Chain A
């Protein structure tokens, strides 16, 4: 390029626009190429740049003091990382920087991805676990409910048993009391000619005016539904009604307390229509015993 051309290039104003940052990337490369080729252009460019730099300095605005710490802090944080690569040759340093950038993006990817994936899995597994737990719980609940029902039934049965035994013990206590009580006298009513094998035991306490039949040890033909046995006390030759009973031995009552009476010469049992009669049917007398 001739001297005139160089001057023309300088005067074109492109160097000013370059320094002002008002050029396309293509123009920028061209100016830089020209400057490296022609010292006059380089000197001109440098002079323009220096002037603009000083002009900027004239118009400088001091940023706030605390911004210095903030900016230097952000730079020196990076600086610490870069420091590790100081020993490397320059061209490798550039690569290192690029690698670092890659590393950084990788790291960022990891940071972005990992928790997200973790979160996904967490909810998936959490849902599965919850669902499994729900099913297991339901099964367990049904099975336990069944067992509880069984236990309740058993408990009811045992309570009934207990009640049964309690009442039984109660009755036996009563019976024992009767037999232990010395005021009771045992009278064995023996079978008449009608039923010689029959036997009824009566316990009579004159002092307590109590008459008790030993149901457990009774030997009597079973009465039908229309008839019942009736216990009589013979007082001065007159029969006194002491109540009815059935010969069919029911398990609950071992002894049966009859109507009270203070004196009796003898006791007798007749078979009467159900509910008993006012006067004994003498031909139906089953057993008889004297006091």
Chain B
């Protein structure tokens, strides 16, 4: 993995290059966003080959429907992560996945844990420890369920056995904490 080859552009440059169908835009898009998108996808689709398929489908869909994105609607990543999350959820709800998952459940869980570990102990993520302190566990669990696992806040309330109002408050408080942390 040679990082020097990776291309990085500002979001404005990237969006303009994508609109102009410049070749460099495609590579920059992948290099800038594939790890973040793959982080979301692989937490929902824990089988690696399937998760890789979803990542590919995600970029194909981003590319084909890019004309429907406009900067007025918000940040590019917000738009893209929604596409990735929806495709990942579609995948685990598909018949194929359900059949396959019966056989591979245990294996997948091991992979999932490994991935989590490798993420948690990434040496370049020095800030993670601080982030864990900034974000309370009860806020993190809700944000992770909705953002990474694709739950609706209603489903998260059911899952955690917490009233809907409390869920909404914790979500907002958690995100406020993240904003504070990243600023």
Contacts and interface: CB of A to CB of B under 8 A. Distances in A.
Interface of A: 11, 13, 16-22, 32, 35-36, 45-65, 67-68, 70-72, 74-76, 78-79, 82-83, 85-86, 90, 93-94, 97
B74 A32 contact: yes
A49 B78 contact: yes
B77 interface: yes
Interface in B117-154: 118-119, 125, 127-128, 131, 143, 146-148, 150, 152-153
B36 A60 contact: yes
B74 A45 contact: yes
Interface string B2-16: 000000000000000
A61 B42 contact: yes
B74 A21 contact: no
The 5 closest A-B pairs by CB, nearest first: A60-B35, A49-B75, A21-B82, A56-B36, A51-B178
Q: At the interface, is chain A mostly helix, strand, loop or mixed? A: helix
Interface string B33-62: 011111110110000000010011001100
Given A32-B72, A60-B119, A79 B128 contact: no
Contacts of B146: 20, 22
Contacts of B94: none
In which size bucket is the chain B interface? 35 or more
A60 to B, nearest CB: 4
Label chain B's interface by main secondary structure: helix
B1 A65 contact: yes
Given A61-B38, A62-B1, A67-B55, A50 B75 contact: yes
B67 interface: yes
19 contacts: A16-B171, A17-B153, A21-B78, A21-B147, A32-B73, A35-B73, A50-B179, A54-B178, A58-B125, A60-B119, A61-B38, A64-B52, A72-B27, A75-B60, A78-B64, A79-B23, A79-B63, A82-B21, A86-B21
Contacts of B60: 74-75, 78
A63 B168 CA distance: 32
A36 B2 CA distance: 40
Nearest to B154: A22
Contacts of B20: 86
Given A13-B169, A55-B147, 19 more contacts: A13-B172, A32-B73, A35-B73, A49-B77, A58-B125, A59-B39, A59-B148, A60-B35, A60-B39, A61-B39, A61-B42, A63-B55, A67-B34, A67-B55, A70-B52, A78-B60, A79-B21, A90-B19, A93-B67
